[in-house]
């Protein structure tokens, strides 16, 4: 029996609002505002504490080094680190800003996971996402691979693949476009994709880009050793992407046998549900909202479907929703209806994740779900599992190293880069990860 762990990304010391993600309405709306990295990190840790106290598996993933001076060097800047920062700010400020995003905090985009119960070779597989749709996010793939390999180093039990080759045909966004549903009949992995790289997509979104390709989803399913009967590739609805659902997890969430979904999440919802029902049987529970009871723009604004749907130790489920859903009457009514109408879902808890939400990252974006058997759990020696002692250590670490105010022009400050390196050096030791960062010579 596996226990599910939520690996949450810790917001990094350069958390900022740069308006980098076209099609992500919150990111564009807040671009240029001052940020508070310390508050962002503490909000995330508070969510982790809350979930761990429910008795649910919780773990952490460390931030990436930013500004990414190595990326700037690969793009032609040279000299000392301060000289690279200064020249980038002077000549191409947008580039420095893009190389400074703390976007690795949205761990749902870190990788796609296949638990050992579902794979051909009985190992747990992780394919880090190449995130090649957006430059600032594409910088994450290399460090994510290093970090995951440091945590899941036991090759007998775990395989951490290379990310898919970069480029438009194999653009992969990780678990944000993936839901695993399971009943007594088995497991089905639903891969949402937005466009077809090679053949062109018959119906594409008109306003905003579709990030994930069908080819990428298919390759990830193969790499992760999933047999065909466990895989279902389904197109994201173009009108959903145009309404701001840049990942499928903006309009759906799945957990165990339960699937909450808006009709604008996927094309032809009716046949998606029939196909799932045919594979998973009567045990599958689907809650579907349509335009009439939950307009898609309210669903995107409130991020109600980006809630975490979590199985409690009792076997019942609860919903972890952002406070923006509590403040939105339609969203609140929908979530409360799920609790009253579905026996298995017993509560909704609202959490303040404002700093992440302002960049379009809700509760579900911040975590990567990884089911681990007890032997797999024991094979991980890194101190990444969340408990009271780690919470205390991490809160102290944030208090020592994070600023409470950051503007985009602070990103050129060499002192900020020093602070980040000192902080991450300390963190990698605290988490027992060894030298995972290139600046450590690792
Ligand atoms: O990729 N925002 C992220 C949000 C990721 C949300 N993840 C999931 N839906 N699972 C993105 O668009 C904004 C950064 C900025 O604008 O400063 C950003 O990268």
Residues 232-258: tens digit of each pLDDT: 999 999 999 999 999 999 999 999 999
Residue 41 Cα to ligand 1 middle (Å)? 16
- The closest of 334, 332, 255 to 288, measured between CA atoms, is 334
Kind of pairing between the strands at 186-193 and 178-183: antiparallel
Q: Is 17 in the pocket of ligand 1 (CB under 6 A)?
A: yes
Question: What CA–CA distance (Å, rounded) separates 108 from 252?
Answer: 13
Residue 405 Cα to ligand 1 middle (Å)? 20
Q: Is 235 in the pocket of ligand 1 (CB under 6 A)?
A: no
User: Quick one: which atom of ligand 1 is closest to the CA of 97?
Assistant: 17
| Confidence band, pLDDT 50/70/90 cuts, at residue 206 | very high
What mean pLDDT value characterizes the chain? 97
- The closest of 237, 189, 242, 188 to 217, measured between CA atoms, is 189
The average pLDDT across 330-358 equals 97
**Residue to probe by mutation, ligand 1, list 33, 102, 103, 243, most atoms within 8 Å of CB:** 103
Which residues participate in catalysis according to the annotation?
173, 247, 365
Kind of pairing between the strands at 252-255 and 231-235: unpaired
The average pLDDT across 303-307 equals 98
| Confidence band, pLDDT 50/70/90 cuts, at residue 201 | confident
Q: What is the pLDDT of residue 146?
A: 98
Q: What is the pTM of this model?
A: 0.98
pLDDT tops 70 at residue 289: yes
Residues 264-275: tens digit of each pLDDT: 999 999 999 999
Measuring from atom 11 of ligand 1, which residue has the nearest CA? 21
Q: Is 18 in the pocket of ligand 1 (CB under 6 A)?
A: yes
The average pLDDT across 3-32 equals 98
Element (H, E) at 183: strand 178-183
pLDDT tops 90 at residue 396: yes
Q: Is 308 in the pocket of ligand 1 (CB under 6 A)?
A: no
Query: Measured between alpha carbons, how far apart are the two ends of the chain, in Å?
Result: 35
Question: What CA–CA distance (Å, rounded) separates 262 from 331?
Answer: 12
Residue 413 Cα to ligand 1 middle (Å)? 24
Kind of pairing between the strands at 317-322 and 3-9: unpaired
The average pLDDT across 8-34 equals 98
Residues 207-231: tens digit of each pLDDT: 999 999 999 999 999 999 999 999 9
Query: Angle of helix 388-401 relative to helix 37-53, nearest 10 degrees?
Result: 180
pLDDT tops 90 at residue 199: no
Kind of pairing between the strands at 345-351 and 317-322: parallel
Residue 314 Cα to ligand 1 middle (Å)? 33
**C-alpha distance from residue 184 to each of 187, 257, 283 (Å):** 8, 9, 7
User: Quick one: which atom of ligand 1 is closest to the CA of 28?
Assistant: 16
Residues 109-158: tens digit of each pLDDT: 999 999 999 999 999 999 999 999 999 999 999 999 999 999 999 999 99
Q: What is the percentage of the chain residues whose pLDDT exceeds 90?
A: 98
- The closest of 311, 296, 305, 319 to 261, measured between CA atoms, is 305
| Other residues' Cβ atoms within 10 Å of the Cβ of residue 415 | 9
**Residue to probe by mutation, ligand 1, list 8, 105, 106, 411, most atoms within 8 Å of CB:** 106
Question: What CA–CA distance (Å, rounded) separates 416 from 407?
Answer: 12
Measuring from atom 1 of ligand 1, which residue has the nearest CA? 21
Residues 6+ apart with CB under 8 A from 328: 298, 301, 302, 304
- Asked if 47 and 310 count as a contact pair (C-beta separation under 8 A), the reply is no
Q: What is the pLDDT of residue 305?
A: 98
Question: What CA–CA distance (Å, rounded) separates 312 from 409?
Answer: 44
Q: Is 369 in the pocket of ligand 1 (CB under 6 A)?
A: no
Measuring from atom 10 of ligand 1, which residue has the nearest CA? 365
Query: Token pair of 74, please?
Result: 């690969």
Query: Token pair of 80, please?
Result: 């000392």
Measuring from atom 8 of ligand 1, which residue has the nearest CA? 365
Query: Token pair of 280, please?
Result: 């998973």
Beta bridge partners of 377: none
Phi/psi of residue 280, nearest 5 degrees:
-105, -10
- Asked if 287 and 314 count as a contact pair (C-beta separation under 8 A), the reply is no
Q: Is 241 in the pocket of ligand 1 (CB under 6 A)?
A: no
Phi/psi of residue 225, nearest 5 degrees:
60, 40
Give yes or no for a cis peptide into 146 (omega within 30° of 0).
no
**Residue to probe by mutation, ligand 1, list 139, 192, 365, 367, most atoms within 8 Å of CB:** 365
User: Quick one: which atom of ligand 1 is closest to the CA of 30?
Assistant: 16
Q: What is the pLDDT of residue 442?
A: 55
Please report the DSSP string for 35-101 in residue order: B-HHHHHHHHHHHHHHHHHTT-EEEEEPPPPSS-HHHHHHTT--SSHHHHHHHHHHH-HHHHHHTT-
Beta bridge partners of 61: 9
Q: Is 20 in the pocket of ligand 1 (CB under 6 A)?
A: yes
Residues 407-438: tens digit of each pLDDT: 999 999 999 999 999 999 999 999 999 999 99
């Amino acid at each position: 029996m596996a226990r599910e762990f939520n690996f949450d990304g810790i917001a990094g010391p350069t958390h900022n609002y740069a308006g980098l993600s076209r099609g992500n309405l919150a990111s564009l709306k807040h671009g240029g505002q001052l940020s508070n990295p310390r508050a962002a990190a503490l909000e995330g840790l508070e969510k982790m504490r809350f979930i761990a106290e429910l008795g649910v598996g919780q773990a952490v993933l460390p931030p990436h080094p930013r500004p990414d001076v190595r990326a700037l060097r690969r793009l032609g800047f040279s000299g000392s680190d301060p000289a690279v920062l200064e020249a980038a700010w002077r000549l191409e400020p947008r580039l420095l800003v893009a190389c400074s995003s703390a976007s690795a905090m949205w761990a749902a985009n870190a990788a796609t996971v296949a638990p050992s119960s579902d794979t051909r070779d009985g190992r747990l597989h992780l394919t880090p996402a190449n995130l090649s749709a957006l430059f600032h996010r594409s910088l994450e793939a290399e460090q994510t691979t290093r970090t995951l390999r440091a945590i899941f180093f036991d090759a007998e039990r775990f395989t951490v693949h290379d990310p898919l080759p970069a480029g438009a045909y194999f653009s992969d966004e990780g678990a944000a476009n993936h839901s695993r549903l399971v009943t007594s009949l088995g497991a089905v992995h639903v891969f949402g994709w937005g466009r077809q790289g090679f053949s062109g997509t018959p119906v594409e979104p008109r306003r905003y880009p579709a990030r994930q390709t069908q080819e990428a989803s298919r390759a990830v399913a193969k790499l992760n050793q999933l047999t065909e009967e466990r895989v279902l590739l389904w197109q994201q609805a173009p009108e959903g992407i145009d309404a701001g659902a840049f990942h499928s997890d903006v309009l759906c969430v799945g957990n165990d046998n339960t699937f909450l979904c808006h009709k604008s999440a996927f094309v032809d919802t009716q046949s998606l549900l029939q196909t799932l029902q045919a594979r998973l049987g009567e045990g599958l529970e689907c809650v579907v909202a349509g335009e009439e009871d939950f307009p898609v723009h309210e669903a995107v604004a409130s991020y109600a479907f980006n809630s975490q749907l979590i199985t409690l130790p009792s076997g019942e489920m609860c919903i972890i929703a952002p406070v923006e859903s509590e403040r939105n009457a339609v969203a609140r009514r929908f979530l409360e209806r799920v609790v009253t109408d579905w026996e298995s879902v017993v509560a909704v808890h609202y959490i303040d994740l404002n700093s992440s939400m302002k960049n379009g990252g809700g509760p579900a974006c911040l975590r990567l779900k990884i089911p681990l058997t007890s032997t797999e759990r024991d094979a991980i020696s890194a101190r990444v599992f969340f408990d009271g002692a780690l919470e205390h250590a991490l809160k102290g670490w944030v208090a020592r190293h994070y600023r409470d105010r950051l503007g985009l022009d602070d990103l050129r400050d060499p002192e900020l880069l020093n602070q980040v390196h000192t902080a991450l050096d300390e963190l990698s030791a605290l988490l027992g990860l060894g030298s995972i960062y290139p600046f450590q010579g690792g």
